[in-house]
Structures are given as C-alpha cells and as structure tokens.
Structure 1
C-alpha cells in the first residue's frame, strides 16, 4: 500500500501536536510495511524532496503573501487577503497535482491543510484515489483554526466564518472517510454540514509521545503528610484557563500545603501579569521543561482549558507516567480522562476544580492507581493509532468505486 499524507508542517518544523502525530503515523506505517510519502509546506528555500526515517518528504514553498508560522505581525486586511488566497490556492494545488501524478498513491490521507490546498481533495477524487481526512482542529470552520473569540470558545460558526469556509464545506463532500481525533471535534464538523458524503466516520485518538527520562518515578512524601504537588504543562495563554485554577487555589482553604508548578512558555506580558497578580510562594513558573521529568515531579496534573481543545495530548502523557489528571469539561478533554477516575470539572462552576483535586488526592492513596493509569495510556499508544489508521485505509481501498489505474489516466488528461 502506498500512502500520501498531506499536512501543513512536518518534522523538523514543529508547532503543535498535529506534527508529532503525523510523524508518528508516517513512520509507523513505514514500519508496518507501507510505502509513505508526505507533502507539507515550507516558508523558506524552494520546493524540495528529502527523506527521513524511511519517509519521502515533499516540502513545497508556500505561494501566498507571507509565511504564517513566524513572529511577524500583519494587518487585518493582509490577513484577510492571505486567507482568501488560502481557501483556493491554485498554485499550491498545481504542485499537489504533479506529486499525485508522480507518486500514484493508493490512499491520500489529509490532515491540516492550511498553506497547502483543499484542491488536493478534487485532484485525488479525479484520480480515483480514496481520501481519508483527519480533523485535528477547526481550520475548515474558522480562519484561526481555533473557533476562539475573546479567549472563549465559539459555540457555533459566526456569519463571517460561515461565508469564508463555505468552499471548504463544499469541497469536504469529496472525502471518503473522515476521522476525528476526538468525538467532539468530529461531531462539530458533521453538525455543520461537513463530510456529508463520507461513507466512514470515526474517532482515532492521537497518541502520546513515548518519553525518555533518567529520573526514576517519585513517591511523594509531601502527599503522605497531607499536601499535594499540582502541575500545569503546556502553552501559558488565557484560553488555557490557568487563571481559573489560580483563582480557585488562592481563595481555597481546604487544601493543605499545596504547591503549583506551571511549565511552558507564553507571551511575556501575559506571564508577567500572572506573576504579579498571583504573587504567592506556593506558585512557581518554571518555563520550558523535560515533560517526563516534570510529570514525575508532581502528584496531579490539572488541565483547566476554557476553550474546546480538540484532544489534549498532555493528559495521556501524564497517564503514561502514572499521574492522575483533573481536566475541564471542554472540547475533547472529557473523552481522554480515564473513565474510572471521574476527574472532570465544570468550567462554568470553577470551584468544582477544587472538589476534583480532592478526589484525585484520594485516588493517589490507592497504590494501584499509577498502574491503572499507565495501562489506560496504552490505548493511546503509537502502535494502537497506526493499526487503527491501517484498518481505515484498507476499508477505504475496498470501497473505492473504480480502479486507480484508470483514474490516473484520467487525471493526467
């Protein structure tokens, strides 16, 4: 089986979880015996081909007014023009067409398509190649990919987004199978009319990235004395809900001798404001960390996101280290929380986060809890994710209506 994977970025260009999962999937498919090539965008150099760990990589220089993955600021008008071009990027689509003609894949597996082109669906359909799309964010529904306004999740598409993304919705009808990294993100697309013709819909959760650390697991002496070491890991920004947690901890008197480690980077002004507002010796901002070492230094991880996270990989990473997680009831987070722990709090009732932290402390008194959490993390292993995708690809191939060979002849005509 030959698989062409399309995603905005690919290693070593990493912005978020999509790039990690795409690389794990591509290399896992190679290990399973598939032939894999990846097409991604780049903001530097020229179009080029390379290879990494058995994966052939096409890096296509973006044809648009600017490269969005840098720190340069652009005017609102320029952003609108950029997104208008991005909806139907004809020049990028032509590049994609040549690659599909050259590679003749059996399956086209698309993911984040910003900077590439939704034209890949039309080209693939004309070539008779089954299309499997993975919804990892809200790019098809919102220019920012987040459906976030004023640090709050949008419950529905606004009028501007609906008009802007209309062509994407129409183009999505060409997709044969659609996968969501959570039931939440998949249903969000289906409810808004996307992928109406897909014969297969389902959920394949992203996987955790196996961690290496020389630090052995830590048993908390502090916890046995009634205190708790809390941690937050990830980007430090308003929509991540860090202030929800800080407000509740600072006004609560029921937790004894707690400490909170906040790991991750963020806007310098925002970090400074947090440190000034929550000037408490129990709170430490530790910046960039080695995730495994950080997770082994805390008792409980808190994921207090205010916005609808499509998945929440950090939760599974914590479980792989035997660390319980208290998470908000937003987006895909509740789907990832280990079901027997019931550690989901209501973001609209912020005080409930303290209740759930108390429950997590009680869980930690059971010596079987870390083992149970590690076992649960295995259902999100890279191996499980790759096997699930292979099954979807095989079923898509069985369902294709006519031969790829005949269609390849059509697309070149």
Structure 2
C-alpha cells in the first residue's frame, strides 16, 4: 500500500514526540513492505508565493527509505507560540499543486499528524479522489492555538469561550520570524551551538511561564478565535476518522468538537522493548525519578512543593532530575539530559517514576518507558497513559495537588513497590511498535489484515 504522512518534517530539522512517533511508524510501515512518504511544510517565499511540492532526497532511517516532499509556501507553522494573523493561517491556496502531486503519488491513505501549515485545499483535493484521511490528535492545537490550554499554573477555564485567547496569543511569532524558522538556512543552522543556546533560553523561559503577561495588548477578540477554531473544525470534519491516543485526548476534543468517527488506539515508539523484571527495593532510601522538563504544566513545581513538604516529615528519599533546577533542594540529584540508550541504567536506579502533569497530557511516553522496565508509577489523572495502567501497577492521583502527592508518597512503602513491580511483570502489557502499526492499519486505515 502507498501511505502518505503529513507531519512537520524529519529529524534533525524537527524533533519532539510528534515527530518521533510519526517517523517510527513510517519506518515500521516501510519494514512491512509499504511505500511510505512524508509531506511537510517547508520554506515560505518572501516574494514568490506560488504553492509547489518539491521532491527532496529520500530519507534513509534504520535501513528504510522514506520519500520526502516539501510544501513550498505552506501556511505558517506557529508551533506553540500562538496565532495573531488569522488570514495568514487560514489562507486558501487552491488545489492545482495538490492535484498534480496526488495524481503523481496516488496514496491509498493520508495520515495527518498536525494541522499546522496545512492548506485546506490539500484535504479537499484528497477527498475528491476518495483517499482515506486519518488525523492523529497528538496535541490540542485545533482547540487552542497555544496548544497547551495551560495558563498561570492551571488549565485554562475559558477554553470554550476563548475570552483570554487575545492576551494569551500576544506571544505569537511574527510572520517574518516564522519565515526564518521555516527557511532552508535555519534547517542548516538549527543544531549549531549558538542557535541551540538561543533555542534553549527561549524554551526555558516559555516552560517556566515567564512569558505570561496579562498586561499584554490583545491580538484578537474572542470571536476571532472562535472563527479560527471553527476553521480547524472544518478541517477535522474532512477526516474519515480521528485517532485519539488516549481517553484524555478524546475527552478534550469532544468537549468542543462533534467528531463521531473516531477511535482510541494507545501508542508506543520503536525504542520501547519489554525489559520487565523483578526489582530490588531498599528500605533505606526511596529513589523518585522525574523525567520531564522544568515546567509548570508538566507538574515539576507542584512535585517540588510536595517533596518540600515530604522532606520536613522524613528524609529518606531523593529526587532524580535531568536538568539544572532553578532552585535546588537537599533531596535532589541532578543528571544531564538523557538518551534512550541510557534508560536501562536510569530505571535500574529508579524505585518509582512520578509524572505529575497539571495540563492534559495526550499520552506520556515516560510512563510506558518506566513500565517496560518494571518500574511502578505515580501519575496525575490528566495523563493519557493512565489508560494502559493495569490495576495495581501504579497509582493515579486525580485532581492532583501538592498535599495529595505528598500524602501518596509518604504512604508508599517498600512492600507496596514490590507488589506493584510484581503486577507489572505478571500482568502489564507492553505494546511494541509492530503491534501498534497493525492496530493503526486495521482501526484507522480500515485495512483487513
């Protein structure tokens, strides 16, 4: 079969969970013998605004050859910085370039991983050819232009009415900056020392919510953002099926959209293997691991507040983190950023993984990674990976607060951890990429395998 994916691009130009999952799935599909390609939003011309599809060199990953097609002059890609120029993000491109492209490539299915940069005319051209369209909801961009729905330490309470969108999106990048970020020059310089340093500084500020500013001048009205959401809704309604990776993702989308043609298929990635084993736990010290960034939305500051309370009551634990904290604590052990190859060592030295996300986490790969090594987990009720957790393999804390997390951890005994570990080893399924690919192909693509 011929499978065309639409995503943001290949590594190292693009990174993150969406890119990794999409590329891992593409590689697996190529291994199965399918012809696999990616269409991605590329450069935006300063003067020439003509839409074109440029065939790039095939990308060879893990001995699999993947075709690469760049959209010249796509819609702007906003990332999670917000949207202020509504006309630029909803412009109609016509279908000439897409008609020609689809007639040449002739995909059996088109798997869309993001609406960023995507012309509606591409989907319309596919619909006219009766090509099956699948949308995987990796994030909440169609609901919230800032993607996260997270504001001032909590989930935004005005998601439905868009009342705060004008101020929240004041951080939106200018079109000139977006043109630079989508340029061939930036692709070459992205991993240079200076650019990486600037990117890290920006992301650190963004994740710490330093950019939140209620005094900012609104860049649009609530009605503007409702119209923008309705535009993305019109794109979603063109899909033959919406793939949700968790019940959390489904509930968020269904709170604002009516999308009856959907399915839930939990996810994995190619580096997940079944490494479950019986672990040894010590009564002397509890090793807590946090694998997220220093982010309020990911629950790091909530976790620190909970552990500050715990430290006052008993001091027989440590917290392992993989970044340099803004504020150190006596119970912290700081490690460098990690690679997947280091997970064996990391989880050997972990008693429990804590994933305390405050925002809605569509899935949460770190939870599956921990389980794949037999490590018990404590997660918030907003983490989509709770769907895969068998009874007794971990603890889900709904309506997470520092007090509730502190109480959960202070009552966590060595016997509890041993029991959780045994249940994980005996009962916890660890989905492999091969099984997920088959389920995507049957439940989403509609293939009878």
TM-score range normalised by the length of the shorter chain: 0.7 to 0.9
Q: Which residue in the other structure is 2:241 paired with?
A: 177
**After alignment, is 305-314 or 178-187 more displaced?**
178-187
**Correspondence for 1:312:** 364
Look up the match of 1:392: 443
CA contact (8 A) 1:121 1:172 kept: no
Q: Is the 8 A contact 2:290 2:320 kept in 1?
A: yes
1:134 maps to 136
Q: 2:237 touches 2:259 (CA, 8 Å); kept in 1?
A: yes
Instruction: Say if 1:300 and 1:324, in contact at 8 Å, map to a contact too.
Output: yes
Q: Quick one: distance in 2 between partners of 1:120 and 1:373?
A: 46
Matched, 1:85 2:134: no
Which residue in 2 is equivalent to 1:231?
Answer: 289
Cα pair 1:306 1:328 within 8 Å, conserved: yes
With over 3 angstroms needed to count, the CA separation of the structure-2 counterparts of 1:95 and 1:332, relative to structure 1, is: farther
Query: Given the two structures, how large is their TM-score scaled by the length of structure 2?
Result: 0.73
Contact 1:4 1:36 in 2 (8 A): yes
Q: How does 1:90-109 map to 2 (within 5 A)?
A: 90=93, 95-109=97-111
Structure-2 residue corresponding to 1:408:
none
Query: Is it true that 1:5 corresponds to 2:8 in the alignment?
Result: no
Residue 364 to residue 348, structure 1, CA distance change in 2 (3 Å):
closer
Give the deviation of 1:382 after TM superposition.
Answer: 0.8
Distance 1:116 1:264 in 2: 34
Per-residue deviation at 1:158?
A: 3.3
Shift of 1:61: 4.2
Pair 1:303-2:355 in alignment: yes
Match of 1:50 among 51, 57, 72: 57
Could you say which residue in structure 1 is the equivalent of 2:374? 322
Q: Note the residue ranges of structure 1 that are not aligned, 5 or more in a row.
A: 266-270, 399-413
Structure 1 residue 264: deviation in Å? Answer: 4.4
Structure 2: gaps of 5 or more residues: 46-52, 163-221
Q: C-alpha deviations, 1:126-154, integer Å up to 9, x for none?
A: 11111111111111111122222223223
Deviation readout 1:84-116 (Å, 9 max, x if unpaired): 42234627x654443222111111111112123
In 2: Cα distance, 1:194 partner to 1:360 partner: 45
CA distance in 2, matches of 1:38, 1:29: 12
Cα distance in 1 between the residues matched to 2:73 and 2:16 = 19
Q: How many residues align?
A: 370
Match of 2:395 among 339, 343, 351: 343
Displacement, 1:42?
3.4
Instruction: Indicate the larger mover: 241-250 or 118-127.
Output: 118-127
Contact 1:320/1:374 (8 A) holds in 2? no
Aligned to 2:202: none
Aligned-residue Cα RMSD (Å) equals 3.2
Matched, 1:258 2:317: yes
The answer as to 2:199 corresponding to 1:162 is: no
Sort the Cα spacing of 1:95 and 1:258 in 2 relative to 1 into closer, same or farther, 3 A: farther
- The residue aligned with 1:186 is 250
3-state SS of 1:60 partner? strand
Determine the structure 1 residue equivalent to 2:48.
Answer: none
